[in-house]
Amino acid sequence: MNTWSGKQSISEPENIANNIAFHLLSNEYTDYFLCVEGNTESYFFNKNSKRSRRLGGKVRIKICDGLEYVHEVCRLLENEQCVGIIDWDYHWYHSHLSELTSNIHQLDTNNLESFVLFQEQIIQHFNESGVSLENQFAVQCSEQIGYLRCINHELKKKWRFKEPKTNGKLRSELINLFSRTLEDQNLENFLLGALKLYKMNPEEFNNHVSKIEQSKHYSKARIVNGKDLFSFIKMCQNNSTYESLEKRFTNEMFQTTSLAKWLNEQGIPLNSKD
Protein backbone atom coordinates (compact mmCIF):
# COMPACT_ATOMS: atom_id res chain seq x y z
CA MET A 1 0.00 0.00 0.00
CA ASN A 2 1.24 3.46 -0.85
CA THR A 3 -0.34 6.53 0.74
CA TRP A 4 2.28 8.97 -0.56
CA SER A 5 0.48 12.03 -1.86
CA GLY A 6 3.30 13.45 -3.98
CA LYS A 7 3.75 16.43 -1.66
CA GLN A 8 6.81 17.35 0.32
CA SER A 9 4.99 16.68 3.56
CA ILE A 10 2.23 14.25 4.47
CA SER A 11 -0.46 14.35 7.12
CA GLU A 12 -0.09 12.59 10.47
CA PRO A 13 -2.70 9.91 9.58
CA GLU A 14 -0.79 9.23 6.33
CA ASN A 15 2.43 8.94 8.31
CA ILE A 16 0.83 6.48 10.75
CA ALA A 17 -0.67 4.49 7.87
CA ASN A 18 2.69 4.30 6.06
CA ASN A 19 4.42 3.07 9.24
CA ILE A 20 1.76 0.40 9.79
CA ALA A 21 1.92 -0.77 6.17
CA PHE A 22 5.72 -0.97 6.31
CA HIS A 23 5.61 -2.88 9.60
CA LEU A 24 3.11 -5.41 8.25
CA LEU A 25 5.37 -6.07 5.27
CA SER A 26 8.64 -6.30 7.15
CA ASN A 27 7.84 -7.78 10.58
CA GLU A 28 7.08 -11.49 10.75
CA TYR A 29 5.91 -11.13 14.35
CA THR A 30 2.92 -8.92 13.46
CA ASP A 31 -0.09 -10.18 11.51
CA TYR A 32 -2.65 -7.53 12.47
CA PHE A 33 -2.83 -3.94 13.67
CA LEU A 34 -5.61 -2.67 15.94
CA CYS A 35 -5.91 1.13 15.85
CA VAL A 36 -7.36 2.78 18.96
CA GLU A 37 -7.97 6.34 20.11
CA GLY A 38 -5.81 6.52 23.23
CA ASN A 39 -4.04 4.92 26.19
CA THR A 40 -7.22 3.61 27.86
CA GLU A 41 -8.13 1.52 24.84
CA SER A 42 -4.56 0.33 24.42
CA TYR A 43 -4.42 -0.79 28.06
CA PHE A 44 -7.75 -2.59 27.74
CA PHE A 45 -6.76 -4.62 24.68
CA ASN A 46 -3.02 -5.04 25.03
CA LYS A 47 -2.18 -8.74 25.35
CA ASN A 48 0.82 -7.88 27.53
CA SER A 49 -1.22 -5.92 30.06
CA LYS A 50 -1.22 -7.32 33.57
CA ARG A 51 -4.88 -6.37 33.94
CA SER A 52 -6.31 -7.88 30.78
CA ARG A 53 -5.23 -10.12 27.94
CA ARG A 54 -7.95 -9.57 25.38
CA LEU A 55 -5.96 -10.24 22.23
CA GLY A 56 -4.10 -13.34 21.11
CA GLY A 57 -1.82 -14.08 18.17
CA LYS A 58 0.40 -11.54 16.47
CA VAL A 59 -1.66 -8.41 17.09
CA ARG A 60 -0.11 -4.99 17.63
CA ILE A 61 -1.91 -2.00 19.15
CA LYS A 62 -1.50 1.43 17.55
CA ILE A 63 -2.58 4.55 19.46
CA CYS A 64 -3.72 7.13 16.91
CA ASP A 65 -4.56 10.01 19.29
CA GLY A 66 -8.24 10.52 18.63
CA LEU A 67 -11.28 9.35 16.72
CA GLU A 68 -10.56 11.33 13.55
CA TYR A 69 -7.08 9.83 13.18
CA VAL A 70 -8.34 6.26 13.71
CA HIS A 71 -11.00 6.90 11.08
CA GLU A 72 -8.54 8.28 8.51
CA VAL A 73 -5.79 5.69 9.14
CA CYS A 74 -8.25 2.82 8.70
CA ARG A 75 -9.63 4.42 5.55
CA LEU A 76 -6.13 4.49 4.09
CA LEU A 77 -5.54 0.87 5.13
CA GLU A 78 -8.97 -0.57 4.34
CA ASN A 79 -7.47 -3.40 2.28
CA GLU A 80 -4.71 -4.21 4.78
CA GLN A 81 -4.69 -6.29 7.98
CA CYS A 82 -5.64 -3.23 9.99
CA VAL A 83 -8.85 -2.51 11.93
CA GLY A 84 -9.93 0.30 14.23
CA ILE A 85 -12.27 0.87 17.18
CA ILE A 86 -13.82 4.26 17.94
CA ASP A 87 -16.17 5.68 20.57
CA TRP A 88 -19.67 6.87 19.67
CA ASP A 89 -19.20 9.81 22.03
CA TYR A 90 -22.11 12.23 21.36
CA HIS A 91 -22.16 11.85 17.60
CA TRP A 92 -25.32 9.75 18.03
CA TYR A 93 -27.19 12.95 18.91
CA HIS A 94 -25.77 16.01 17.23
CA SER A 95 -23.75 14.93 14.22
CA HIS A 96 -22.70 12.05 12.03
CA LEU A 97 -19.29 10.83 11.02
CA SER A 98 -18.67 10.33 7.35
CA GLU A 99 -19.43 6.77 6.30
CA LEU A 100 -17.27 4.31 8.19
CA THR A 101 -15.12 1.85 6.29
CA SER A 102 -15.67 -1.86 6.85
CA ASN A 103 -12.54 -2.15 9.01
CA ILE A 104 -13.84 0.23 11.71
CA HIS A 105 -16.10 -0.73 14.61
CA GLN A 106 -17.97 2.03 16.42
CA LEU A 107 -18.88 1.19 20.01
CA ASP A 108 -22.59 1.24 20.81
CA THR A 109 -21.89 3.26 23.96
CA ASN A 110 -20.38 6.64 24.79
CA ASN A 111 -16.88 5.23 25.23
CA LEU A 112 -14.99 2.10 26.24
CA GLU A 113 -15.57 2.66 29.96
CA SER A 114 -19.31 2.91 29.35
CA PHE A 115 -19.06 -0.24 27.27
CA VAL A 116 -17.71 -2.08 30.33
CA LEU A 117 -19.92 -0.53 33.01
CA PHE A 118 -23.20 -1.02 31.19
CA GLN A 119 -22.68 -4.64 30.23
CA GLU A 120 -25.66 -6.73 31.36
CA GLN A 121 -23.45 -8.94 33.54
CA ILE A 122 -21.96 -5.94 35.35
CA ILE A 123 -25.42 -4.47 36.00
CA GLN A 124 -26.49 -7.89 37.29
CA HIS A 125 -23.51 -7.86 39.66
CA PHE A 126 -24.74 -4.57 41.13
CA ASN A 127 -28.29 -5.86 41.49
CA GLU A 128 -27.19 -9.08 43.15
CA SER A 129 -25.11 -7.09 45.64
CA GLY A 130 -28.24 -5.21 46.66
CA VAL A 131 -27.14 -2.00 45.00
CA SER A 132 -29.15 -0.96 41.94
CA LEU A 133 -26.86 0.58 39.34
CA GLU A 134 -29.75 2.67 38.01
CA ASN A 135 -30.31 4.32 41.37
CA GLN A 136 -26.70 4.97 42.26
CA PHE A 137 -25.85 8.58 43.04
CA ALA A 138 -22.62 8.21 41.06
CA VAL A 139 -24.61 7.16 37.98
CA GLN A 140 -27.15 9.97 38.41
CA CYS A 141 -24.44 12.62 38.72
CA SER A 142 -22.43 11.30 35.77
CA GLU A 143 -25.66 11.35 33.77
CA GLN A 144 -26.10 15.08 34.46
CA ILE A 145 -22.51 15.70 33.40
CA GLY A 146 -23.24 13.62 30.30
CA TYR A 147 -26.12 15.92 29.37
CA LEU A 148 -23.81 18.91 29.76
CA ARG A 149 -21.16 17.23 27.61
CA CYS A 150 -23.78 16.51 24.95
CA ILE A 151 -24.99 20.12 24.99
CA ASN A 152 -21.40 21.31 24.80
CA HIS A 153 -20.77 19.17 21.70
CA GLU A 154 -23.97 20.27 20.03
CA LEU A 155 -23.56 24.01 20.69
CA LYS A 156 -19.74 24.00 20.39
CA LYS A 157 -19.43 25.78 23.72
CA LYS A 158 -15.84 24.66 24.41
CA TRP A 159 -16.66 23.97 28.05
CA ARG A 160 -13.85 22.33 29.99
CA PHE A 161 -14.52 18.95 31.60
CA LYS A 162 -10.95 17.74 32.03
CA GLU A 163 -8.34 18.88 34.50
CA PRO A 164 -5.45 20.57 32.63
CA LYS A 165 -2.21 18.65 32.19
CA THR A 166 -3.70 15.31 33.25
CA ASN A 167 -4.49 12.16 31.30
CA GLY A 168 -8.20 12.90 30.97
CA LYS A 169 -8.84 13.35 34.69
CA LEU A 170 -12.23 14.91 35.44
CA ARG A 171 -12.20 18.63 36.23
CA SER A 172 -11.42 19.25 39.92
CA GLU A 173 -14.46 21.50 40.44
CA LEU A 174 -16.74 18.62 39.43
CA ILE A 175 -14.86 16.17 41.64
CA ASN A 176 -15.19 18.56 44.60
CA LEU A 177 -18.88 19.15 43.84
CA PHE A 178 -19.55 15.41 43.88
CA SER A 179 -17.61 15.05 47.13
CA ARG A 180 -19.67 17.81 48.82
CA THR A 181 -23.02 16.35 47.78
CA LEU A 182 -22.17 12.66 48.21
CA GLU A 183 -23.02 12.33 51.91
CA ASP A 184 -26.57 13.65 51.51
CA GLN A 185 -26.81 12.35 47.93
CA ASN A 186 -28.59 15.54 46.94
CA LEU A 187 -28.81 15.36 43.16
CA GLU A 188 -30.49 18.77 42.87
CA ASN A 189 -27.61 20.49 44.65
CA PHE A 190 -25.10 18.66 42.46
CA LEU A 191 -26.89 19.71 39.28
CA LEU A 192 -27.30 23.33 40.39
CA GLY A 193 -23.59 23.47 41.20
CA ALA A 194 -22.69 22.05 37.79
CA LEU A 195 -25.02 24.47 35.99
CA LYS A 196 -23.48 27.39 37.90
CA LEU A 197 -20.01 26.23 36.86
CA TYR A 198 -21.02 26.30 33.19
CA LYS A 199 -23.26 29.38 33.54
CA MET A 200 -26.40 27.69 32.30
CA ASN A 201 -29.87 28.26 33.74
CA PRO A 202 -31.98 25.23 34.77
CA GLU A 203 -34.80 25.94 32.32
CA GLU A 204 -32.46 26.01 29.34
CA PHE A 205 -30.78 22.83 30.58
CA ASN A 206 -34.10 21.01 31.04
CA ASN A 207 -35.19 21.97 27.53
CA HIS A 208 -32.02 20.47 26.08
CA VAL A 209 -32.37 17.32 28.20
CA SER A 210 -35.93 16.84 26.99
CA LYS A 211 -34.77 16.97 23.36
CA ILE A 212 -31.85 14.66 24.03
CA GLU A 213 -34.03 12.03 25.69
CA GLN A 214 -36.41 12.10 22.73
CA SER A 215 -33.62 11.09 20.36
CA LYS A 216 -34.14 7.61 18.93
CA HIS A 217 -30.53 6.79 19.82
CA TYR A 218 -30.72 7.92 23.46
CA SER A 219 -29.74 5.53 26.24
CA LYS A 220 -28.02 5.84 29.59
CA ALA A 221 -24.97 4.01 28.26
CA ARG A 222 -24.64 6.63 25.51
CA ILE A 223 -25.21 9.76 27.57
CA VAL A 224 -22.91 8.72 30.45
CA ASN A 225 -19.19 9.18 29.88
CA GLY A 226 -17.73 6.09 31.54
CA LYS A 227 -14.60 7.94 32.65
CA ASP A 228 -16.79 10.34 34.66
CA LEU A 229 -18.67 7.43 36.22
CA PHE A 230 -15.47 5.59 37.15
CA SER A 231 -14.19 8.80 38.80
CA PHE A 232 -17.34 9.11 40.91
CA ILE A 233 -17.48 5.39 41.71
CA LYS A 234 -13.99 5.51 43.19
CA MET A 235 -15.10 8.29 45.55
CA CYS A 236 -18.11 6.48 46.96
CA GLN A 237 -17.85 5.87 50.69
CA ASN A 238 -19.02 2.26 50.43
CA ASN A 239 -16.52 1.03 47.91
CA SER A 240 -16.94 -2.71 48.55
CA THR A 241 -19.42 -3.03 45.68
CA TYR A 242 -16.95 -1.53 43.23
CA GLU A 243 -13.53 -2.68 44.36
CA SER A 244 -13.36 -5.65 41.99
CA LEU A 245 -15.58 -4.20 39.27
CA GLU A 246 -12.97 -4.15 36.52
CA LYS A 247 -11.80 -7.66 37.41
CA ARG A 248 -15.36 -8.89 37.02
CA PHE A 249 -15.30 -7.97 33.34
CA THR A 250 -13.56 -11.18 32.36
CA ASN A 251 -12.42 -12.30 28.94
CA GLU A 252 -15.21 -14.89 29.03
CA MET A 253 -17.66 -12.02 29.42
CA PHE A 254 -15.87 -10.01 26.72
CA GLN A 255 -16.25 -12.91 24.28
CA THR A 256 -20.05 -12.50 24.35
CA THR A 257 -20.01 -8.84 23.27
CA SER A 258 -20.71 -7.53 19.78
CA LEU A 259 -17.22 -6.00 19.75
CA ALA A 260 -15.54 -9.37 20.33
CA LYS A 261 -17.71 -10.98 17.65
CA TRP A 262 -16.76 -8.24 15.20
CA LEU A 263 -13.04 -8.65 15.95
CA ASN A 264 -13.38 -12.38 15.31
CA GLU A 265 -15.07 -11.66 11.99
CA GLN A 266 -12.15 -9.42 11.04
CA GLY A 267 -9.71 -12.24 11.74
CA ILE A 268 -8.32 -10.72 14.95
CA PRO A 269 -7.51 -13.59 17.35
CA LEU A 270 -8.82 -13.27 20.89
CA ASN A 271 -7.74 -14.87 24.13
CA SER A 272 -10.54 -16.77 25.83
CA LYS A 273 -8.94 -16.82 29.28
CA ASP A 274 -7.73 -14.08 31.63
What is the per-residue pLDDT for 188?
97
Same-domain status, 185 and 231: yes
Q: Is residue 273 part of a domain?
A: no
The counts of H helices and E strands in the chain are 15, 4
Under a CB-based contact definition with an 8 Å cutoff, are residues 262 and 103 in contact? no
What is the per-residue pLDDT for 197?
98
Same-domain status, 50 and 126: no
pLDDT tens for 45-78 read 886 665 567 888 889 999 999 999 999 999 999 9
Same-domain status, 202 and 257: no
Q: Compute the distance between CA of residue 11 and CA of residue 69 in angstroms, rounded to an integer.
A: 10
pLDDT band for position 117 (cuts 50, 70, 90): confident
Q: Compute the distance between CA of residue 218 and CA of residue 134 in angstroms, rounded to an integer.
A: 16
Under a CB-based contact definition with an 8 Å cutoff, are residues 115 and 109 in contact? yes
Same-domain status, 105 and 139: no
Q: Is the pLDDT of residue 133 over 70?
A: no
Same-domain status, 241 and 258: no
What is the per-residue pLDDT for 219?
94
Q: Is residue 75 part of a domain?
A: yes
In this structure, what DSSP letter does residue 59 have?
A: E
Same-domain status, 138 and 60: no
Instruction: Give the domain range for residue 215.
Output: 120-248
What is the per-residue pLDDT for 4?
44
Same-domain status, 254 and 244: no
Q: Is residue 3 part of a domain?
A: no
Q: Is residue 7 part of a domain?
A: no
Same-domain status, 134 and 193: yes
Predicted structure pTM score: 0.87
Q: Is 62 helix (H, G, I), strand (E, B) or coil?
A: strand
Q: Is residue 45 part of a domain?
A: yes
Q: Is residue 183 part of a domain?
A: yes
Q: Compute the distance between CA of residue 37 and CA of residue 149 in angstroms, rounded to an integer.
A: 19
Q: Is residue 271 part of a domain?
A: no
Same-domain status, 181 and 124: yes
Q: Compute the distance between CA of residue 270 and CA of residue 45 in angstroms, rounded to an integer.
A: 10
Same-domain status, 94 and 144: no
Structural domain count of the chain: 2
Q: Is residue 2 part of a domain?
A: no
* Mean pLDDT of all residues belonging to the chain: 86
Give which of 228, 133, 106 is closest to 178, Cα–Cα: 228
Same-domain status, 100 and 16: yes
Same-domain status, 68 and 126: no
